[in-house]
């Protein structure tokens, strides 16, 4: 009795790229990280920071001096 052999094209179809689970996992992680980046950009553009008070000049939106300290809060009797 002779051992059964597969046709030559059957072996190639088993090692095709779409049958490799590691590649699917990598594609899933890549897609999820891109979606996360887009989400962070969208959320960041919707919720802008309140600008800080600056006294004096600025270079490229960076203040040249420290802002004055906030006034102390008075206790109400």
Strand, coil or helix: what is 62?
Answer: strand
Four-residue CA torsion sign, 30, 35, 39, 45: positive
- Residue 43 contacts residue 52 (beta carbons within 8 Å): no
Mean pLDDT by groups of 10 residues along the chain of 77 residues = 66 76 94 98 87 76 79 76
For residue 10, the model assigns a pLDDT of 59
């Amino acid at each position: 009795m002779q051992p059964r052999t597969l046709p030559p094209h059957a072996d190639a179809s088993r090692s095709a790229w779409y049958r490799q689970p590691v590649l699917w996992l990598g594609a899933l992680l890549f897609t999820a990280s891109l979606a996360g980046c887009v989400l962070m950009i969208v959320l960041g553009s919707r919720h802008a920071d309140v600008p800080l008070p600056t006294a004096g000049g600025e270079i490229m939106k960076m203040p040249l001096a420290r802002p004055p300290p906030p006034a102390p809060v008075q206790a109400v009797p």
